[in-house]
Amino acid sequence: MTTLVTARASRATAVGRVRGLTDAAPPLAVFIAVVAIWEAALTGLNVRQFLLPKPSVILSAVGDQWSVLQQGLTYTGSEALGGLVVGLVLGIAAAFAIARWSTARELLMPIAVGASSIPIIAFAPITSAWFSSQSPLARIAIVTVMVFFPVVVNTVRGLTNVDPAAIELMRSYAASDVAIMRRLRIPNAMPYFFTALRIAATLAVIGAVIGEYFGGPRYALGIYISSEAYVFRYANAWAGILMACLLGIGFYLVVLALERLAIPWQTAKRAADA
């Protein structure tokens, strides 16, 4: 049976790969068309550069400013990653507690909901005061708060939303709670968890960049974007935005890759379903 599943999975992955290429073509074409129209329209309509710079100008700004942008990518990226890891660890721990004990559910769920409703723009100056605005911890705290909620909610759902018949079966074999958790609940929660992780990955970058509007070193992406925009170097500001965007996409792709490694059966199922 194991060999059969593996064989099916690998076939599905191969199919998925080919499909991935053909799937990528239409959005790629749309993207190229948008960029081309953007470039042509701005040239044709003679729009003032401080309203919207041309893509070619933004690209050359990336080359021009690469040494600063590179520092910003590393700095902001590590803040986002740090917050993501802390938020994940706390979120998973909370999710397990909530799934296991109903008291924990009553205690922790409101906190998770509360954390998700904190307006980040109001929270950022406060974390800056807690950790000093110069410290990356101020941004890591923001990212942690942003990541926490989706991880808790999704993971709890994955851990609890288990087929009752499967639990019955396990119980009939006298499986312990630990065994049920390990062999049934956790595998069941994996797809939910990765869905949460995809959301969290892009949220993390947004949280870090917003937090940086309130302090940090000169090259941090949020600070770079806002101060370049302030002196009308909009091409540079857009280059910074592009970097933040690439960072978010990068995080997302890493999560996708991890997902394929961790739960290949799910990827295979998705390909087969489609």
Partner 1 sequence: MGKSVRLTGLFVIAAIVGLACSSTPGSSSSGGAMTKVRFQLQWVVQAQFAGYNAALDQGYFKDEGLDVTLLPGGPDINNLQVVASGGAELGTSWVPKTLQSREGGTDLVSIAQILQRSGTRMVAFKQANITDPKTMLGKKIGSWLGGNEPELFAAIVKAGGDPTKENVIKQDFNMNAFIAGDIDVAQAMIYNEYAQVLETKNATTGQLYSPNDLNVIDFNDPSIGTAMLQDAIIARESWLKQAGNEDIAVKFLKAAFRGWIYCRDNSQKCADLVVAAGSELKKGHQTWMMNEINGLIWPSPNGIGQLDQAAWDNTINIATTYKVLKAAPNQGAVRTDLAKKALDALGTSVDTKGASFKPTTVTLTEGGN
Single residue of 56, 78, 116, 133 touching partner 1 by CB under 8 A: 133
Residue 114: half-sphere exposure toward Cβ, Cα within 13 Å: 6
Site string for partner 1, 135-174 (x = CB under 8 A): ----------------------------------------
Q: Does 134 bind partner 1 (CB under 8 A)?
A: yes
Residue 267 exposed, middle or buried by CB count within 10 Å (0-12, 13-18, 19+): buried
Cβ-based nearer residue to partner 1, 150 or 158: 150
Single residue of 18, 25, 45, 51 touching partner 1 by CB under 8 A: 51
> Shortest gap between Cβ of 21 and partner 1 (angstroms)?
19
DSSP annotation string for 131-178? H-TTSHHHHHHHHHHHHHHHHHHHHHHHHH---HHHHHHHHHTT--HH
What is the rounded distance in angstroms from the CA atom of residue 25 to the CA atom of residue 39?
Answer: 21
Single residue of 140, 146, 203, 268 touching partner 1 by CB under 8 A: 203
Residue showing tokens 């540079």: 236
Site string for partner 1, 215-254 (x = CB under 8 A): xxxxxx--x--xx-xxxxxx------x--xxxxxx-----
Q: Which stretch binds partner 1 (CB under 8 A): 131-139, 150-158, 162-170, 258-266?
A: 131-139
Confirm if 249 and 27 have CB atoms less than 8 A apart.
Answer: no
Residue showing tokens 């996409």: 249
Residue 253 structure tokens: 């792709």
Which residues are near partner 1 by CB under 8 A? 48-52, 67-68, 128, 132-134, 202-203, 205-206, 209, 214-220, 223, 226-227, 229-234, 241, 244-249
